[in-house]
A and B are shown apart, each in its own frame.
Chain A
Amino acid sequence: MPTSREPATETGASATTSQHGWPLWEVFVRPRRGLSHTHAGSLHAPDAELALRNARDLYTRRQEGVSIWVVRSSDITASAPDEKDSFFDPAGDKVYRHPTFYEIPDEVEHL
């Protein structure tokens, strides 16, 4: 069995609910405008609205964010660790997918 704690690979209800029967939620925080939401962690909450508020208390205490998403962990479909080879290895020898075959003008910064 996979040992990772990726939610969708968990089996059984106990992994995605707390001792109170509260479901597990994954929290995504957008640090500031222009950046995308990034996975920050997970928490238990009885429903989506309280999950948002718990996320605010747990993950944005130090002004880390301007926006929060919460998603029920059980709604996430994740790739399984034992599929890693077939999923990711085929990209390994396709260097032409990297933008390394043209000169970058000196004037262009941050590329």
Chain B
Amino acid sequence: MSPAAALDSAVARYSLALGDDALVLCQRLCEWATRAPAIEEDVALMNVALDLLGQARSFLTYAAEREGLGRTEDDLAYLRDERDFSNVQLVEIENGDFATTMARQLVFSAYQYQLYEALSSSADEQIAAISEKAFKEVSYHRDHAARWVVRLGDGTQESHRRMAAGLETVWPFAGELFEPFEVGSELSGLTEMSIARDPASLHDPWSAFVTPVLAEATLEIPATAWAPSGGRSGLHTEAFGYLLAELQHLHRSFPDAKW
């Protein structure tokens, strides 16, 4: 493979991973439609989901362009199988109750905040442009989640119990966010070229935001030795297959379906 082709392929895979994160979390959040605790919150969650869908479309479109195989964003979203998705497992785990969803929103949007802030100065102009726009969106997502975590954690006995349980469920999946995408692959070259960011470098600023929020919410950081991982290389949880079936079945059953 020529160096140019190798670079295209690496940028495509990086974009795909970022797009898959956004796409899968969007799909999960959409399960809250009509089911959120209040109609105002329903709209808030769907706004977040729509922002993520926009990010997913931008990254998948760019991934399709750079891989140069003639695929489109729809092909990538609807026609890949489970093992070809490179999203982290955090975004695919089931919603649980509202507190669990807010715990995941806090962990993930705080990560995306650091990621997009860093990628706004990516050497790849397209990634920089998508990230700059997305940064404003996830700033709001992070704020929204943090406020709910504080209110539920430092709320009633029952809301505290649920918030603590939600955090317990979500926390082990946070570690994967800061792992290298693929050890020793050409993706590490992207970091050296300032196209991508080393995920590990996002951990400390992420923690500097999340830790005080949890403290204000009177929640303790869960102690966990279990560190699930592997989403970036296509290993997913059992719940993911069902999510994908719901996401893809219409397109697969009616390939030319249009609204």
Contact = CB atoms under 8 A, between A and B. Distances in A.
Majority-rule SS of B interface residues: helix
A43 B147 CA distance: 18
Interface of B: 37-38, 40-41, 43-44, 47, 140, 143-144, 147, 151
B61 to A, nearest CB: 23
Given A50-B147, A53-B144, A20 B47 contact: no
Given A58-B43, A61-B47, A53 B38 contact: no
A68 interface: no
Contacts of A67: none
B217 to A, nearest CB: 15
B47 A57 contact: yes
Contact of A54 (B37, B40, B143): B40
Interface string A77-90: 00000000000000
Interface in A38-59: 43-47, 49-50, 53-54, 56-58
A63 to B, nearest CB: 13
Among B38, B43, B44, B140: residue with most chain A CB under 10 A:
B38
A50 B148 CA distance: 9
Contacts of B143: 53
B38 A44 contact: yes
A44 B37 contact: no
Contacts of B40: 43-45, 54, 57-58
Contact of A20 (B37, B44, B147, B151): B37
Given A53-B44, A58-B43, A22 B147 contact: no
A57 B43 contact: yes
Contacts of B38: 18, 20, 22, 44
A45 to B, nearest CB: 6
Nearest to B43: A57
Among B38, B40, B41, B140: residue with most chain A CB under 10 A:
B40
A18 B40 CA distance: 11
Contacts of B37: 20
28 contacts: A18-B38, A20-B37, A22-B38, A43-B40, A44-B38, A44-B40, A45-B40, A46-B151, A47-B151, A49-B147, A50-B147, A50-B151, A53-B44, A53-B143, A53-B144, A53-B147, A54-B40, A54-B41, A54-B43, A54-B44, A56-B140, A57-B40, A57-B43, A57-B44, A57-B47, A58-B40, A58-B43, A61-B47
